[in-house]
Amino acid sequence: MGWMDTSVPFGDSMTTNNKKYHAPNMQKLADEGVRFTNAYVNPVCTPTRTSILCGLSAVRTHITNWTNTPANQPTDYPDSILQFPVWNINGLSPTPHPNAFQATPFTEILKNEGYFTIHVGKAHWGSQSTPGSDPLNFGFLTNVGGTSIGHPQSYYGKNNFGNKAGSITHWAIPGLQEFYDKDIFLTVALTQKAIQLMSGSIVQRKPFFLNFGHYAIHTPIQPDYRYFEKYLMNGLDSTEAAYASLVEGMDKSLGDIMHFLKSKGQEDNTIIIFLSDNGGLTNSSRGGTRNTHNLPLRSGKGSVYEGGIKVPMIVKWPKMVRSGTKTNHHMMAEDIFPTILEMAGAKFTASSIDGKSLVPVLKNPAYTDTLRNLIFHYPHRWTKNEDEGIAWASALRRGDWKLVYLMKEQKLELYNIAKDQGEKVNLADKYPSQELTMAKIMGDELRSKNAQMPIWKKTGKKVAWPDQLIK
């Protein structure tokens, strides 16, 4: 879900893209919580999802790309010039496993603190045949539908979510048999199970943590027919209309959960964190016109330009966060780990992770840190497209500035995001000392986190560090 894939503006004003969508429940959540206008994640899903779970930068975990369903199979698109590095293609694992990064998830700590830890929906932390494919191995006490897959085979109960004999692939959603052959959308089925499991915890007067990873919004972009017609009538093409219906279905789920919490008297007792795992899709499978879906942000999923890494984020913390506020604090996916543990009053070693707790920001709206080094690293080629930063790139956000390193082009670009969020004007030539400073910081961030660089196929040499381009 991209920064613009909602009627709730996370920028300064409502944009043309915002106006395509209806997300009344996100708006309600924003009205009751705080909007993060500078929430960053990785360009694709698994790196963000695993960073959330383990509190570490994807640069450090070497889970820099999305993980495949079968084990030991990279997902990198073939390239004749650059060779992707040996990354952790099996994702995250709670125990040592080949080609996987081992870490303790915050959910294990929450479980040990007495929380009923619920996973519902997409997990996509590790490949099948590895411990990372099962949420139960990451401290969850119950799991519905979460496994190694990154998207569903089908969103439709009528299609058994992909489990129809003869056409089953490894993307078929497990464990939702009760909805087979029924006219129910995956988003709804998962919401029912999430509510059921929260209910069970509430009956027992036990604290719960629900990790609700909606499969929506993701390919296959199949219409959620509850909302599809409306978007067609609004003039969206069928793919864009289907996408918008996925958004509104997800939004409805959020509303159902908020309503449920209220009905159980748990509204003031429950923190809600809303976050996407990568920027909005903006390639040919999205419908509409490529590279427009995240405007005014540039590019989209797969890219280190803002469209690929800036996402909607809302936190509702009743009685703690002032309703309807915004913060321009710079946050990154790995901050979720220490934030949730601090919220829960759980002990952890802050120095062992990269994430920084957002609790100070949430408790005190005057507190922001925009001078953090947010580092993005994608030493991969995602798809056929390589333009618009959707391959072989790193980026550094710090203060108003952003440095983009296009590896294949061996080029550095400098943007002032505060003034140019669309990354239209490359200021590298105009501010060479700023470029140098940023390149050095980026180089230090990458080296200190043991970043892996692609290899030039012709020479067998590693791609240079960004600061080496200047010296």
Q: Which residues bind a copy of itself (CB under 8 A)?
A: 71, 111-112, 114, 116, 128-134, 136-137, 141-144, 147-148, 163, 165, 168-170, 174-182, 193, 196-197, 200-201, 203-204, 206
Task: Take residue 56 and report the two structure tokens written for it.
Answer: 């570490």
Rounded Cα gap, residues 453 and 451, in angstroms: 6
Q: Which is nearer to a copy of itself, 36 or 66 (CB)?
A: 66
Least distance to a copy of itself from the beta carbon of 130, Å?
Answer: 6
Q: 197 vs 395, which CB is nearer to a copy of itself?
A: 197
Torsion of CA 393, 309, 124, 336, to 10 degrees: 120
Find the shortest distance in angstroms from Cβ 159 to a copy of itself.
13
Question: Quick one: angle between helices 45-54 and 336-343, nearest 10?
Answer: 40
Q: Which is nearer to a copy of itself, 11 or 174 (CB)?
A: 174
SS3 state at 117? strand
Query: CA 23: distance to chain centroid?
Result: 18
230 beta partners: none
* Closer Cβ to a copy of itself, 193 or 330, answer by number: 193
Which residues does 447 contact at the CB level (< 8 Å), separation at least 6? 465
Tokens found for residue 248: 């509104």
Q: Is the dihedral of CA 25, 29, 30, 32 positive or negative?
A: positive
Angle (nearest 5°) at CA 277 between 272 and 278? 140
Residue number with CB closer to a copy of itself (175 or 324)? 175
Is 14 or 168 the residue whose CB approaches a copy of itself more closely? 168
55 vs 132 by CB, closer to a copy of itself: 132
Task: Give the DSSP letter string of 340-366.
Answer: HHHHTT----GGG-S---SHHHHH-TT
CA 231 centroid distance within chain: 25
The candidate with the shortest Cα–Cα distance to 2, out of 20, 402, 400, 376, is 20
Q: Which two tokens stand for residue 443?
A: 């180089």
Closest approach of a copy of itself to the CB of residue 101, in Å: 16
* Minimum distance of a copy of itself from residue 143's CB (angstroms): 8
For residue 185, what is the DSSP state? B
Least distance (Å) between residue 337 CB and a copy of itself = 20
C-beta closer to a copy of itself: residue 179 or 405:
179
What is the C-alpha to C-alpha distance for residues 152 and 162, in angstroms, rounded to an integer? Answer: 7
Give the contacts of 404 (CB within 8 A, at least 6 positions apart).
Answer: 304, 305, 389, 393, 394, 395, 412, 413, 414, 415, 423
| Shortest CB 189 distance to a copy of itself, Å | 10
Which lies closer to a copy of itself via its Cβ, residue 64 or residue 148?
148
Report, in Å, the least distance between residue 4 CB and a copy of itself: 34
Min dist CB 261 to a copy of itself, Å, is 18
Tokens of 128: 């099948």
Is 182 or 259 the residue whose CB approaches a copy of itself more closely? Answer: 182
How far apart are CB 54 and a copy of itself at their closest, in Å? 18
Q: Which is nearer to a copy of itself, 24 or 174 (CB)?
A: 174
Q: What gap in Å lies between CA 131 and CA 97, rounded to an integer?
A: 8
Q: How many residues does the chain have?
A: 471
- 418: DSSP letter: T
Residues paired with residue 464 on neighbouring β-strands, in sequence order = none
Structure tokens at 30: 């924003």
DSSP 5-30: SSSS-SSSS--TTGGG---HHHHHHH
Q: Are 358 and 341 in contact (CB under 8 A)?
A: no
Q: Read off the amino acid at residue 250.
A: M
Nearer Cβ to a copy of itself (95/364): 95
> Exposure of 392 by Cβ count < 10 A (0-12 exposed, 13-18 middle, 19+ buried)?
buried
CA 414 to chain centre: 24
Place of tokens 């992707």: 84
Minimum CB separation of residue 53 from a copy of itself in Å reads: 16
CB 23 → a copy of itself: shortest distance, Å? Answer: 29
Q: Least distance to a copy of itself from the beta carbon of 342, Å?
A: 20
